[in-house]
Amino acid sequence: MGQPLFTNDAIVFGILMISLGFVFYTESKTSGFWHQFYKVVPGLFMAYFIPAIFTTIGAIAPEWQNTNTNGEIVKESSQLYYVASRFLLPAALVLMTLSIDLKAIFNLGSKALIMFFTGTVGIIIGGPIAILLISLVSPETVGGADFDAVWRGLSTLAGSWIGGGANQTAMLEIYQYNPAKYGGMIFVDIVVANVWMAILLIGIGKKDAINKWLKADTSAIEELKEKVISFTQKIQKNPTLTDYMIILAIAFGTVGFGHFAASFLAGFFKGLIGSISSEITRNIFTFLGSKFFWLVSISTIIAVLLSYTKAKNYEGAGASKIGSIFIYVLVATIGMKMDLTMIFDNWGLIIIGIVWMSVHAGLLILVAKLIKAPYFFLAVGSQANVGGAASAPIVASAFHPSLATVGVLLAVFGYAIGTIAAIGCTILLELAASV
């Protein structure tokens, strides 16, 4: 990607914040065009889409290439997504979990897990089905030999779409796809996963109509929301500067400890896993060597523990609202990674990704209809697979901030089974490619 108009992260951050300010200002309108517009398009989607437009027109970019004084090509990148995902996301998870009723989450029942596993199965079978279908019209698109074989590259997508980045890397190590072509798979991952997330966000604006069509029982979700709202109203207060500082101290103190513990645990497990003689076993547990996995897990665990203390009363001072601000900033940085013109590049692999994701979505819709699962379980179950811990809480919190923890718990579970499930998917991918 060529150099964007603005490369200074301070300027880019300003653009993203102005975009978010515009979204919130227009969404607050109670009449006129914008009032009607946001009845159709959720504000969270616009928070994602506007930065994507800026990236598409070349104003900003997540990464780019530059030429130094020696004529060498230097790769540069924005650090905003890293900061948002490593600092603001865990802080948001802490603040949104402070007031959580863990018992009420477990009372949501088995449908959340059923939809999550349905999403996993959809990814496992979706890839092979996509290969079989595309091979009928364009065999060369799904071909390749040895380490250039497309199925090897698609194995990394399976790792990413069931677990996350660590699982994706593990699949690259296991199946040794040509590194020179690996960028194409990352490209498909970004485009298809982000488009699917956008569709899910749009669906949230129509959740009542979708739930009616699914004949879903949303009583458990509504009960959880009402509990949180009732608790918030009971402890509501006019926040002081001291309250805000303590809220930030709780959030970022936890994040700081999370980074400290994550570095230690990731290093420990990386060494432990490295000593395992079996390559397959070693790669199955690669996620335990991921700092991000431990950061999210530790932050969430501490937040759950804090929910049993007086710290939960800071919800009355607006803890979850501050957490929501952090989530919106993260959404904007994710949107920044999406160049809309990429959809029209490398059509072959993109179509494979679209067919793959369509199978995943179709299976989710079918099972949701059969078991009468709410759209919330469908959307979060899907995103916990496809997006992982960075985006599952975003989708969950779009329904209500109190539900963000559900997204985290499912996403962490996805990390745990990601590599094993992806290996199963890859076996089917190879079989489909050989037909």
pLDDT tens-digit map of 158-177: 988 998 777 787 788 778 88
My answer on whether 224 and 125 are in the same domain is yes
DSSP 422-434: HHHHHHHHHHHHH
For residue 85, being part of any structural domain is answered with: no
| Helices 9-27 and 43-56, axial angle in degrees (round to 10) | 140
Specify whether 114 is located in the same domain as 249: yes
Residue 347 lies in a domain: yes
* 100 located within any domain: yes
**Would you place residue 129 in the very low, low, confident or very high pLDDT band (cuts 50, 70, 90)?**
very high
Q: Per residue in 320-379, pLDDT tens?
A: 889 889 989 988 998 898 887 776 666 888 899 999 999 999 999 999 999 999 999 999
Q: Are residues 253 and 320 in the same domain?
A: yes
- Would you say residue 171 lies in a domain? yes
Q: CA-CA-CA-CA torsion for 188, 191, 196, 199, nearest 10 degrees?
A: -160
**How many other C-beta atoms can be found within 10 angstroms of the C-beta atom of residue 361?**
19
CA distance linking residue 227 with residue 99, whole number of Å: 10
Res 33: pLDDT: 93
Query: Cα separation of 17 and 28, whole Å?
Result: 16
Tokens of 409: 């718990």
| pLDDT class of 381 with cuts at 50, 70, 90 | very high
Numbers of helices and strands, H then E, in the chain: 20, 2
Say how many domains are in the chain.
Answer: 2
Same domain flag for 282 and 154:
yes
CA distance 340 to 51: 11
pLDDT tens by residue, 39-82 = 878 788 888 889 989 999 999 999 888 877 777 788 889 999 99
Q: Is residue 331 part of a domain?
A: no
If asked whether residues 218 and 367 sit together in one domain, one would say: yes
114 and 18 fall within a common domain? no
Residue 17 domain-assigned?
yes
pLDDT tens for 74-108 read 888 999 999 998 999 889 889 988 877 777 777 77
The answer to whether residue 382 sits within a structural domain is yes
Single-letter amino acid, residue 129: I
- The answer to whether residues 54 and 27 belong to one domain is yes
Residue with tokens 């003689």: 277
**Can you give the pLDDT at residue 343?**
65
The partner residues of 66 in beta bridges, in order of sequence, read 74
- Work out the pLDDT band at 404, boundaries 50, 70, 90: confident
Report the pLDDT value the prediction gives residue 264, as an integer from 0 to 100.
94
Looking at the structure, tell me whether residues 280 and 216 fall in a common domain. Answer: yes
- pLDDT on residue 290: 82
**Rounded to whole angstroms, how far apart are CA atoms 264 and 386?**
28
* Boundary (domain end) residue, out of 27, 58, 78: 78
pTM: 0.80
Question: How many residues belong to the chain?
Answer: 435
pLDDT of 8 > 70? The answer is yes
* pLDDT per position as a tens digit, 201-233: 889 888 989 999 999 988 888 888 888 788 888
Instruction: Yes or no: say if 335 and 327 are a contact pair by the CB < 8 Å rule.
Output: no
Range list of H helices, 140-284: 150-162, 165-175, 179-204, 207-214, 219-234, 241-274, 279-284
Mean pLDDT for 1-20 is 92
**Which range of residues forms the domain containing residue 70?**
1-78
Contact 383, 395 (CB under 8 A): yes
On whether the CB atoms of residues 361 and 383 are closer than 8 A, the answer is no
Q: What are the residues facing 331 on neighbouring strands?
A: none
Looking at the structure, tell me whether residues 172 and 115 fall in a common domain. yes
Same domain, 56 and 94: no
